[in-house]
Amino acid sequence: MNRRPVGAVDFAALSRLAPELAETFVTLASDIALVIDDQGVIGTVALGNGTPAAPGAGDWVGRAWADTVTGETRSKVEELLREASTTGTSHRREINHPSPAGIDIPYSYAAVRLGADGPVLAVGRDLRAISGIQQQFVEAQQEIEREYWKHRQAEARYRVLFQVATDAVLIVDTETQRILDGNRAASELFDIAPDRLLGMEAIATIDRSSRPAVTELLATARATGMSAEIRAWLSGRRVSARISATPFRSADAMLLLLRVRAETNEVAADADRTLIKLVERTPDSVVVADISGRILMANHAFIELGEFADEAQARGRQLGDLFGAGLLDLISAARNRGIAVKQAVPLCGLHGQEALVDISAALLADEDQECVGLTMRVRAADAQATPGQSRKIADLASAIDALADQVGRKGLDELLAQVREQAERYFVQASLLITEGDKREAARMLGLSTRELDARLRDLTAPPNGGPGPGPQATG
Protein backbone atom coordinates (compact mmCIF):
# COMPACT_ATOMS: atom_id res chain seq x y z
CA MET A 1 0.00 0.00 0.00
CA ASN A 2 1.06 3.65 -0.44
CA ARG A 3 2.79 5.39 2.38
CA ARG A 4 1.28 8.35 4.19
CA PRO A 5 2.24 11.74 2.63
CA VAL A 6 4.64 14.04 4.50
CA GLY A 7 2.86 16.63 6.69
CA ALA A 8 -0.26 14.54 7.31
CA VAL A 9 -1.40 13.69 10.86
CA ASP A 10 0.41 10.63 12.09
CA PHE A 11 -1.46 8.18 14.35
CA ALA A 12 1.49 5.81 14.54
CA ALA A 13 1.54 6.03 18.34
CA LEU A 14 -1.90 4.44 18.39
CA SER A 15 -1.14 1.58 16.05
CA ARG A 16 -0.24 -0.83 18.85
CA LEU A 17 -3.55 -0.02 20.53
CA ALA A 18 -5.63 -0.77 17.41
CA PRO A 19 -7.61 -3.69 18.99
CA GLU A 20 -8.41 -1.59 22.07
CA LEU A 21 -9.45 1.33 19.88
CA ALA A 22 -11.75 -0.97 17.93
CA GLU A 23 -13.49 -2.06 21.14
CA THR A 24 -13.77 1.54 22.28
CA PHE A 25 -15.36 2.64 18.98
CA VAL A 26 -18.06 -0.05 19.03
CA THR A 27 -18.82 0.85 22.62
CA LEU A 28 -19.16 4.58 22.00
CA ALA A 29 -20.12 5.29 18.39
CA SER A 30 -20.44 2.33 16.05
CA ASP A 31 -21.82 -1.18 15.55
CA ILE A 32 -18.67 -2.84 14.17
CA ALA A 33 -14.96 -2.03 14.02
CA LEU A 34 -12.26 -3.80 11.93
CA VAL A 35 -8.49 -3.64 12.26
CA ILE A 36 -6.96 -4.27 8.79
CA ASP A 37 -3.25 -4.72 7.88
CA ASP A 38 -1.50 -3.23 4.87
CA GLN A 39 -2.52 -6.27 2.78
CA GLY A 40 -6.23 -5.60 3.41
CA VAL A 41 -6.57 -8.61 5.73
CA ILE A 42 -8.76 -8.35 8.83
CA GLY A 43 -6.83 -8.83 12.07
CA THR A 44 -9.49 -7.87 14.62
CA VAL A 45 -13.31 -7.76 14.61
CA ALA A 46 -15.06 -5.81 17.40
CA LEU A 47 -18.89 -5.99 17.58
CA GLY A 48 -21.29 -3.69 19.41
CA ASN A 49 -24.02 -4.96 21.70
CA GLY A 50 -26.92 -2.84 20.46
CA THR A 51 -27.46 -4.28 16.96
CA PRO A 52 -27.13 -7.87 15.71
CA ALA A 53 -23.94 -8.21 13.69
CA ALA A 54 -23.73 -9.50 10.15
CA PRO A 55 -23.85 -13.34 10.12
CA GLY A 56 -20.36 -14.86 10.41
CA ALA A 57 -18.67 -11.56 11.31
CA GLY A 58 -16.75 -13.26 14.10
CA ASP A 59 -15.07 -15.55 11.51
CA TRP A 60 -13.71 -12.73 9.35
CA VAL A 61 -10.36 -12.62 11.14
CA GLY A 62 -7.62 -13.72 8.71
CA ARG A 63 -9.76 -12.99 5.62
CA ALA A 64 -9.36 -10.12 3.19
CA TRP A 65 -11.97 -7.47 3.93
CA ALA A 66 -12.92 -7.36 0.26
CA ASP A 67 -13.83 -11.08 0.42
CA THR A 68 -16.45 -10.46 3.15
CA VAL A 69 -18.56 -8.04 1.10
CA THR A 70 -20.88 -8.42 -1.90
CA GLY A 71 -19.43 -8.25 -5.39
CA GLU A 72 -20.95 -4.86 -6.28
CA THR A 73 -19.44 -3.20 -3.17
CA ARG A 74 -15.98 -4.82 -3.39
CA SER A 75 -14.66 -1.83 -5.31
CA LYS A 76 -15.87 0.45 -2.51
CA VAL A 77 -13.68 -1.44 -0.02
CA GLU A 78 -10.65 -1.00 -2.26
CA GLU A 79 -11.36 2.72 -2.69
CA LEU A 80 -11.84 3.18 1.03
CA LEU A 81 -8.50 1.48 1.88
CA ARG A 82 -6.67 3.38 -0.87
CA GLU A 83 -8.06 6.70 0.38
CA ALA A 84 -7.12 5.93 4.00
CA SER A 85 -3.62 4.98 2.89
CA THR A 86 -3.20 8.16 0.87
CA THR A 87 -4.78 10.80 3.13
CA GLY A 88 -4.92 9.07 6.49
CA THR A 89 -8.73 9.09 6.60
CA SER A 90 -11.55 8.15 4.22
CA HIS A 91 -15.01 9.32 3.30
CA ARG A 92 -17.93 7.25 4.51
CA ARG A 93 -19.15 4.57 2.09
CA GLU A 94 -22.06 2.13 2.17
CA ILE A 95 -20.89 -1.48 1.90
CA ASN A 96 -23.04 -4.63 1.89
CA HIS A 97 -22.18 -7.91 3.56
CA PRO A 98 -23.92 -11.06 2.27
CA SER A 99 -25.93 -13.35 4.54
CA PRO A 100 -26.95 -17.03 4.24
CA ALA A 101 -30.59 -15.90 3.99
CA GLY A 102 -29.79 -14.12 0.73
CA ILE A 103 -30.51 -10.65 2.15
CA ASP A 104 -27.60 -8.21 1.99
CA ILE A 105 -26.78 -6.39 5.23
CA PRO A 106 -25.80 -2.74 4.67
CA TYR A 107 -23.11 -0.98 6.71
CA SER A 108 -21.75 2.54 6.46
CA TYR A 109 -17.95 2.48 6.91
CA ALA A 110 -15.28 5.10 7.43
CA ALA A 111 -11.55 4.35 7.96
CA VAL A 112 -8.44 5.90 9.46
CA ARG A 113 -4.76 4.73 9.14
CA LEU A 114 -2.91 4.51 12.44
CA GLY A 115 0.50 5.73 11.35
CA ALA A 116 2.45 5.39 8.11
CA ASP A 117 3.23 1.74 8.76
CA GLY A 118 0.29 1.02 11.04
CA PRO A 119 -3.00 -0.80 10.38
CA VAL A 120 -6.27 0.70 9.16
CA LEU A 121 -9.14 1.02 11.62
CA ALA A 122 -12.52 0.82 9.84
CA VAL A 123 -15.66 1.56 11.87
CA GLY A 124 -19.17 0.89 10.59
CA ARG A 125 -22.83 1.65 11.37
CA ASP A 126 -25.56 -0.92 10.73
CA LEU A 127 -28.01 0.56 8.19
CA ARG A 128 -30.70 -2.10 8.42
CA ALA A 129 -33.09 0.12 10.39
CA ILE A 130 -32.60 3.01 7.98
CA SER A 131 -32.91 0.67 5.02
CA GLY A 132 -36.18 -0.62 6.46
CA ILE A 133 -37.50 2.92 6.79
CA GLN A 134 -36.44 3.70 3.23
CA GLN A 135 -38.19 0.55 2.00
CA GLN A 136 -41.35 1.50 3.89
CA PHE A 137 -41.17 4.96 2.35
CA VAL A 138 -40.86 3.51 -1.14
CA GLU A 139 -43.75 1.15 -0.48
CA ALA A 140 -45.82 4.02 0.91
CA GLN A 141 -45.12 6.07 -2.21
CA GLN A 142 -46.17 3.16 -4.38
CA GLU A 143 -49.34 2.68 -2.34
CA ILE A 144 -50.15 6.38 -2.68
CA GLU A 145 -49.74 6.13 -6.42
CA ARG A 146 -51.98 3.06 -6.56
CA GLU A 147 -54.63 4.76 -4.43
CA TYR A 148 -54.40 7.87 -6.61
CA TRP A 149 -55.15 5.90 -9.75
CA LYS A 150 -57.93 3.99 -7.98
CA HIS A 151 -59.39 7.33 -6.98
CA ARG A 152 -59.14 8.65 -10.54
CA GLN A 153 -60.86 5.54 -11.88
CA ALA A 154 -63.57 5.69 -9.21
CA GLU A 155 -64.07 9.37 -9.92
CA ALA A 156 -64.52 8.63 -13.61
CA ARG A 157 -67.10 5.93 -12.85
CA TYR A 158 -68.82 8.24 -10.38
CA ARG A 159 -69.05 10.96 -13.03
CA VAL A 160 -70.76 8.61 -15.47
CA LEU A 161 -73.24 7.37 -12.85
CA PHE A 162 -73.76 10.89 -11.57
CA GLN A 163 -74.85 12.19 -14.96
CA VAL A 164 -77.17 9.31 -15.89
CA ALA A 165 -78.85 8.93 -12.46
CA THR A 166 -82.62 9.30 -12.63
CA ASP A 167 -82.75 10.70 -9.08
CA ALA A 168 -81.72 14.26 -8.38
CA VAL A 169 -78.17 14.15 -6.98
CA LEU A 170 -76.33 16.99 -5.25
CA ILE A 171 -72.79 17.22 -3.92
CA VAL A 172 -72.73 19.40 -0.79
CA ASP A 173 -69.78 20.82 1.12
CA THR A 174 -70.12 19.75 4.77
CA GLU A 175 -68.58 22.98 6.10
CA THR A 176 -70.60 25.56 4.17
CA GLN A 177 -73.55 23.29 3.24
CA ARG A 178 -73.42 24.80 -0.24
CA ILE A 179 -73.98 22.85 -3.45
CA LEU A 180 -70.75 22.04 -5.29
CA ASP A 181 -72.28 20.00 -8.11
CA GLY A 182 -75.62 18.72 -9.30
CA ASN A 183 -76.88 16.52 -12.11
CA ARG A 184 -79.46 17.33 -14.75
CA ALA A 185 -82.23 15.59 -12.79
CA ALA A 186 -81.60 17.95 -9.84
CA SER A 187 -81.84 20.98 -12.10
CA GLU A 188 -85.14 19.73 -13.50
CA LEU A 189 -86.60 18.74 -10.13
CA PHE A 190 -85.84 22.09 -8.49
CA ASP A 191 -86.54 24.02 -11.72
CA ILE A 192 -83.23 25.85 -11.36
CA ALA A 193 -80.64 26.30 -14.12
CA PRO A 194 -77.48 24.22 -13.55
CA ASP A 195 -75.20 27.26 -13.31
CA ARG A 196 -77.50 28.88 -10.70
CA LEU A 197 -77.69 25.67 -8.69
CA LEU A 198 -73.95 25.69 -7.98
CA GLY A 199 -73.05 27.68 -4.88
CA MET A 200 -76.58 27.71 -3.47
CA GLU A 201 -77.21 26.59 0.09
CA ALA A 202 -78.60 23.07 0.01
CA ILE A 203 -81.53 23.97 2.25
CA ALA A 204 -82.54 26.75 -0.17
CA THR A 205 -84.11 24.01 -2.31
CA ILE A 206 -86.22 22.86 0.67
CA ASP A 207 -89.50 24.31 1.93
CA ARG A 208 -89.05 26.44 5.06
CA SER A 209 -91.15 24.05 7.15
CA SER A 210 -88.73 21.19 6.37
CA ARG A 211 -85.44 23.07 6.68
CA PRO A 212 -84.80 22.27 10.38
CA ALA A 213 -85.22 18.54 9.67
CA VAL A 214 -82.93 18.67 6.61
CA THR A 215 -80.32 20.68 8.54
CA GLU A 216 -80.37 17.99 11.25
CA LEU A 217 -80.05 15.32 8.53
CA LEU A 218 -76.89 16.94 7.13
CA ALA A 219 -75.38 17.39 10.59
CA THR A 220 -76.15 13.77 11.57
CA ALA A 221 -74.62 12.34 8.38
CA ARG A 222 -71.50 14.44 8.85
CA ALA A 223 -71.10 13.59 12.55
CA THR A 224 -71.76 9.84 12.31
CA GLY A 225 -70.24 9.17 8.88
CA MET A 226 -73.33 7.09 8.05
CA SER A 227 -76.15 7.52 5.57
CA ALA A 228 -79.51 8.83 6.75
CA GLU A 229 -82.83 9.57 5.08
CA ILE A 230 -85.93 11.65 5.80
CA ARG A 231 -89.05 12.87 4.02
CA ALA A 232 -89.26 16.62 3.38
CA TRP A 233 -91.12 19.21 1.35
CA LEU A 234 -89.35 20.82 -1.59
CA SER A 235 -89.40 24.56 -2.08
CA GLY A 236 -91.81 26.23 -4.45
CA ARG A 237 -94.15 23.47 -5.60
CA ARG A 238 -94.60 21.88 -2.14
CA VAL A 239 -93.60 18.51 -3.54
CA SER A 240 -92.97 15.79 -0.96
CA ALA A 241 -89.66 13.98 -1.46
CA ARG A 242 -87.33 11.52 0.21
CA ILE A 243 -83.87 12.95 0.85
CA SER A 244 -80.90 10.75 1.72
CA ALA A 245 -77.48 12.07 2.75
CA THR A 246 -74.34 9.95 2.34
CA PRO A 247 -70.92 11.25 3.50
CA PHE A 248 -67.84 10.53 1.38
CA ARG A 249 -64.29 11.84 1.17
CA SER A 250 -62.89 13.49 -1.94
CA ALA A 251 -59.19 14.39 -1.78
CA ASP A 252 -58.82 16.11 1.61
CA ALA A 253 -62.44 17.28 1.90
CA MET A 254 -65.47 15.59 3.44
CA LEU A 255 -68.53 15.98 1.24
CA LEU A 256 -72.15 14.85 1.30
CA LEU A 257 -73.99 13.18 -1.55
CA LEU A 258 -77.66 14.13 -1.40
CA ARG A 259 -80.12 11.98 -3.35
CA VAL A 260 -83.57 13.50 -3.74
CA ARG A 261 -86.48 11.42 -5.00
CA ALA A 262 -89.92 12.99 -5.42
CA GLU A 263 -92.59 10.78 -3.90
CA THR A 264 -94.73 8.76 -6.27
CA ASN A 265 -98.42 8.04 -5.84
CA GLU A 266 -97.51 4.62 -4.45
CA VAL A 267 -95.40 6.16 -1.68
CA ALA A 268 -98.18 8.61 -0.85
CA ALA A 269 -100.63 5.71 -0.67
CA ASP A 270 -98.38 3.96 1.85
CA ALA A 271 -98.41 7.09 4.02
CA ASP A 272 -102.20 7.25 3.81
CA ARG A 273 -102.47 3.62 4.91
CA THR A 274 -100.30 4.43 7.95
CA LEU A 275 -102.73 7.18 8.94
CA ILE A 276 -105.74 4.90 8.37
CA LYS A 277 -104.28 2.24 10.71
CA LEU A 278 -103.81 4.81 13.44
CA VAL A 279 -107.27 6.35 12.98
CA GLU A 280 -108.92 2.93 13.14
CA ARG A 281 -107.51 2.37 16.64
CA THR A 282 -108.69 5.54 18.32
CA PRO A 283 -111.80 7.72 18.26
CA ASP A 284 -109.84 10.82 19.26
CA SER A 285 -107.99 13.49 17.34
CA VAL A 286 -105.04 12.02 15.47
CA VAL A 287 -102.03 13.72 13.92
CA VAL A 288 -98.77 12.42 12.43
CA ALA A 289 -95.80 14.77 12.79
CA ASP A 290 -92.11 14.64 11.96
CA ILE A 291 -89.46 14.84 14.67
CA SER A 292 -89.42 18.65 14.49
CA GLY A 293 -93.14 18.78 15.33
CA ARG A 294 -94.32 19.68 11.83
CA ILE A 295 -97.74 18.26 10.92
CA LEU A 296 -97.60 15.72 8.10
CA MET A 297 -101.12 14.29 8.29
CA ALA A 298 -104.19 14.74 10.49
CA ASN A 299 -107.70 13.35 10.84
CA HIS A 300 -110.94 15.32 10.80
CA ALA A 301 -111.19 15.47 14.61
CA PHE A 302 -107.82 17.18 14.84
CA ILE A 303 -108.75 19.61 12.08
CA GLU A 304 -111.74 20.67 14.18
CA LEU A 305 -109.66 20.79 17.38
CA GLY A 306 -107.10 23.09 15.81
CA GLU A 307 -109.80 25.13 14.04
CA PHE A 308 -108.25 24.59 10.61
CA ALA A 309 -110.31 24.92 7.46
CA ASP A 310 -109.07 21.57 6.12
CA GLU A 311 -106.09 19.19 6.26
CA ALA A 312 -104.19 21.15 3.63
CA GLN A 313 -104.18 24.19 5.93
CA ALA A 314 -102.91 22.10 8.85
CA ARG A 315 -100.20 20.29 6.89
CA GLY A 316 -96.79 21.86 7.43
CA ARG A 317 -97.83 23.81 10.55
CA GLN A 318 -95.89 23.42 13.79
CA LEU A 319 -97.65 21.71 16.68
CA GLY A 320 -95.73 24.08 18.91
CA ASP A 321 -97.95 26.90 17.61
CA LEU A 322 -100.90 25.16 19.28
CA PHE A 323 -99.37 23.44 22.31
CA GLY A 324 -96.14 25.31 23.01
CA ALA A 325 -92.52 24.15 23.03
CA GLY A 326 -93.22 21.52 25.69
CA LEU A 327 -94.75 19.27 23.06
CA LEU A 328 -91.30 18.78 21.50
CA ASP A 329 -90.20 17.17 24.78
CA LEU A 330 -93.09 14.72 24.41
CA ILE A 331 -92.02 13.90 20.85
CA SER A 332 -88.41 13.42 22.01
CA ALA A 333 -89.58 11.08 24.79
CA ALA A 334 -91.58 9.06 22.27
CA ARG A 335 -88.51 8.72 20.05
CA ASN A 336 -86.42 7.47 22.98
CA ARG A 337 -88.97 5.16 24.63
CA GLY A 338 -91.28 4.32 21.73
CA ILE A 339 -94.33 5.75 23.51
CA ALA A 340 -95.00 8.68 25.80
CA VAL A 341 -98.04 10.14 27.54
CA LYS A 342 -98.58 13.67 28.72
CA GLN A 343 -101.72 15.05 30.33
CA ALA A 344 -103.26 18.49 30.67
CA VAL A 345 -101.41 20.20 27.82
CA PRO A 346 -102.91 23.67 27.25
CA LEU A 347 -104.25 24.26 23.75
CA CYS A 348 -104.69 27.74 22.36
CA GLY A 349 -106.73 27.58 19.16
CA LEU A 350 -106.33 29.81 16.15
CA HIS A 351 -109.23 31.96 17.30
CA GLY A 352 -108.38 32.15 20.99
CA GLN A 353 -110.21 29.03 22.17
CA GLU A 354 -108.48 27.52 25.20
CA ALA A 355 -108.68 23.97 26.52
CA LEU A 356 -106.71 21.26 28.32
CA VAL A 357 -105.81 18.27 26.17
CA ASP A 358 -104.51 14.84 27.18
CA ILE A 359 -101.94 13.76 24.59
CA SER A 360 -100.24 10.41 23.98
CA ALA A 361 -97.48 9.89 21.41
CA ALA A 362 -96.09 6.78 19.74
CA LEU A 363 -93.08 6.36 17.47
CA LEU A 364 -94.03 5.04 14.02
CA ALA A 365 -91.07 2.69 13.61
CA ASP A 366 -92.24 1.21 10.32
CA GLU A 367 -91.78 4.51 8.50
CA ASP A 368 -88.63 5.20 6.48
CA GLN A 369 -88.63 8.64 8.03
CA GLU A 370 -88.94 8.90 11.79
CA CYS A 371 -92.48 10.06 12.52
CA VAL A 372 -94.56 10.33 15.66
CA GLY A 373 -98.27 9.60 15.86
CA LEU A 374 -100.15 11.60 18.45
CA THR A 375 -103.67 10.99 19.81
CA MET A 376 -105.46 13.77 21.67
CA ARG A 377 -108.55 14.03 23.87
CA VAL A 378 -109.99 17.28 25.18
CA ARG A 379 -110.86 17.17 28.87
CA ALA A 380 -114.61 17.40 29.41
CA ALA A 381 -114.20 19.59 32.51
CA ASP A 382 -112.78 22.35 30.35
CA ALA A 383 -116.25 23.02 28.97
CA GLN A 384 -117.31 24.14 32.48
CA ALA A 385 -114.28 26.30 33.16
CA THR A 386 -114.42 30.04 32.84
CA PRO A 387 -112.05 31.65 30.33
CA GLY A 388 -110.08 33.32 33.14
CA GLN A 389 -109.48 30.05 34.99
CA SER A 390 -108.45 28.19 31.87
CA ARG A 391 -106.07 30.95 30.96
CA LYS A 392 -104.37 30.84 34.36
CA ILE A 393 -103.75 27.11 34.06
CA ALA A 394 -102.51 27.47 30.52
CA ASP A 395 -100.04 30.12 31.72
CA LEU A 396 -98.42 27.85 34.34
CA ALA A 397 -95.79 26.39 31.98
CA SER A 398 -94.89 29.79 30.54
CA ALA A 399 -94.69 31.31 34.04
CA ILE A 400 -92.21 28.65 35.17
CA ASP A 401 -90.24 29.07 31.93
CA ALA A 402 -90.07 32.81 32.69
CA LEU A 403 -88.64 32.03 36.13
CA ALA A 404 -85.83 30.08 34.44
CA ASP A 405 -84.70 33.35 32.88
CA GLN A 406 -84.09 34.70 36.39
CA VAL A 407 -81.32 32.13 37.07
CA GLY A 408 -78.22 34.11 37.90
CA ARG A 409 -80.21 37.13 39.09
CA LYS A 410 -82.13 35.44 41.91
CA GLY A 411 -81.06 32.82 44.41
CA LEU A 412 -82.25 29.21 44.32
CA ASP A 413 -84.39 29.55 47.47
CA GLU A 414 -86.24 32.54 46.02
CA LEU A 415 -86.78 30.79 42.69
CA LEU A 416 -88.07 27.61 44.36
CA ALA A 417 -90.46 29.67 46.49
CA GLN A 418 -91.90 31.25 43.35
CA VAL A 419 -92.16 27.86 41.62
CA ARG A 420 -94.01 26.51 44.68
CA GLU A 421 -96.41 29.45 44.55
CA GLN A 422 -97.10 28.92 40.83
CA ALA A 423 -97.60 25.17 41.30
CA GLU A 424 -99.89 25.68 44.32
CA ARG A 425 -102.01 28.12 42.33
CA TYR A 426 -102.21 25.59 39.50
CA PHE A 427 -103.36 22.68 41.70
CA VAL A 428 -105.92 24.78 43.55
CA GLN A 429 -107.42 26.04 40.33
CA ALA A 430 -107.30 22.54 38.80
CA SER A 431 -109.29 21.18 41.73
CA LEU A 432 -111.91 23.87 41.21
CA LEU A 433 -112.09 23.02 37.52
CA ILE A 434 -112.54 19.30 38.18
CA THR A 435 -115.25 19.95 40.80
CA GLU A 436 -116.90 22.62 38.65
CA GLY A 437 -116.25 25.30 41.29
CA ASP A 438 -117.42 23.33 44.34
CA LYS A 439 -115.06 24.58 47.07
CA ARG A 440 -116.12 21.93 49.59
CA GLU A 441 -115.32 19.08 47.15
CA ALA A 442 -112.16 20.81 45.93
CA ALA A 443 -110.91 21.16 49.53
CA ARG A 444 -111.59 17.48 50.15
CA MET A 445 -109.59 16.51 47.03
CA LEU A 446 -106.65 18.62 48.26
CA GLY A 447 -106.85 17.36 51.86
CA LEU A 448 -107.75 20.83 53.17
CA SER A 449 -110.64 22.33 55.03
CA THR A 450 -112.89 24.80 53.24
CA ARG A 451 -111.50 27.58 55.43
CA GLU A 452 -107.91 26.62 54.54
CA LEU A 453 -108.80 26.57 50.86
CA ASP A 454 -110.37 30.04 51.12
CA ALA A 455 -107.24 31.31 52.86
CA ARG A 456 -104.97 29.92 50.15
CA LEU A 457 -107.19 31.43 47.45
CA ARG A 458 -106.89 34.83 49.13
CA ASP A 459 -103.09 34.50 49.38
CA LEU A 460 -102.69 33.28 45.81
CA THR A 461 -104.89 35.96 44.26
CA ALA A 462 -103.61 38.88 46.35
CA PRO A 463 -101.19 41.24 44.48
CA PRO A 464 -97.59 41.56 45.80
CA ASN A 465 -98.32 44.82 47.67
CA GLY A 466 -101.05 43.18 49.72
CA GLY A 467 -103.92 44.98 48.01
CA PRO A 468 -107.08 43.22 46.86
CA GLY A 469 -106.81 40.92 43.92
CA PRO A 470 -109.28 39.02 41.75
CA GLY A 471 -110.29 35.62 43.04
CA PRO A 472 -111.36 32.58 41.03
CA GLN A 473 -114.89 32.44 39.79
CA ALA A 474 -116.23 29.54 41.84
CA THR A 475 -119.55 28.64 43.40
CA GLY A 476 -120.48 27.04 46.71
As a whole number of angstroms, the distance between CA 402 and CA 392 comes to: 15
Domains 265-378 and 396-461 alike in fold: no
Q: Which of 158-162, 345-349, 386-390, 455-459 has the lowest mean pLDDT?
A: 386-390
User: For 33-92, what is each residue's pLDDT tens digit?
Assistant: 888 888 899 988 888 776 666 777 778 889 999 998 998 889 999 999 999 888 888 888
Write down the pLDDT at residue 237: 61
354: confidence class by pLDDT, cuts 50, 70, 90: low
**Type of residue at 208:** R
pLDDT exceeds 70 at position 98: yes
Q: What does residue 352 show for φ and ψ, rounded to 5 degrees?
A: 90, 0
pLDDT exceeds 60 at position 272: no
Write down the pLDDT at residue 468: 38
User: For 155-209, what is each residue's pLDDT tens digit?
Assistant: 655 555 555 456 788 889 988 999 988 888 888 888 888 889 999 999 998 988 8
Q: Which CATH number fits domain 396-461: 1.10.150, 2.170.140, 3.30.300, 1.10.10?
A: 1.10.10
The mean per-residue pLDDT over the stretch 329-344 comes to 71
Please report, rounded to a whole number, the percentage of residues in the chain having pLDDT higher than 90.
5
CATH 2.60.120.640 matches 165-262: no
What is the third-level CATH fold of 12-126?
Beta-Lactamase (3.30.450)
All structural domains of the chain with their residue ranges: 12-126, 165-262, 265-378, 396-461
Write down the pLDDT at residue 332: 81
As a whole number of angstroms, the distance between CA 392 and CA 120 comes to: 106
User: For 412-465, what is each residue's pLDDT tens digit?
Assistant: 788 788 888 878 877 887 787 777 778 888 888 888 888 888 888 777 665 544
Write down the pLDDT at residue 381: 47
Q: What does residue 152 show for φ and ψ, rounded to 5 degrees?
A: -65, -40
Write down the pLDDT at residue 47: 83
The mean per-residue pLDDT over the stretch 216-236 comes to 86
pLDDT winner (highest mean) among 65-79, 110-124, 165-179, 318-332: 65-79
pLDDT averaged over every residue in the chain: 75
pLDDT exceeds 60 at position 132: yes
Q: pTM of the full predicted structure? A: 0.31
Label residue 239 left, alpha or beta by phi (over 0 means left) and psi (-120 to 50 means alpha): beta
Label residue 289 left, alpha or beta by phi (over 0 means left) and psi (-120 to 50 means alpha): beta
382: confidence class by pLDDT, cuts 50, 70, 90: very low
206 vs 398, residue with greater confidence: 206
As a whole number of angstroms, the distance between CA 200 and CA 204 comes to: 7
Sheet holding 42-47, edge to edge: 42-47, 32-36, 120-126, 105-113, 93-97
The mean per-residue pLDDT over the stretch 372-398 comes to 58
The mean per-residue pLDDT over the stretch 15-28 comes to 67
The mean per-residue pLDDT over the stretch 10-23 comes to 65
Q: Give me the architecture of the 265-378 domain, per CATH.
A: 2-Layer Sandwich (3.30)
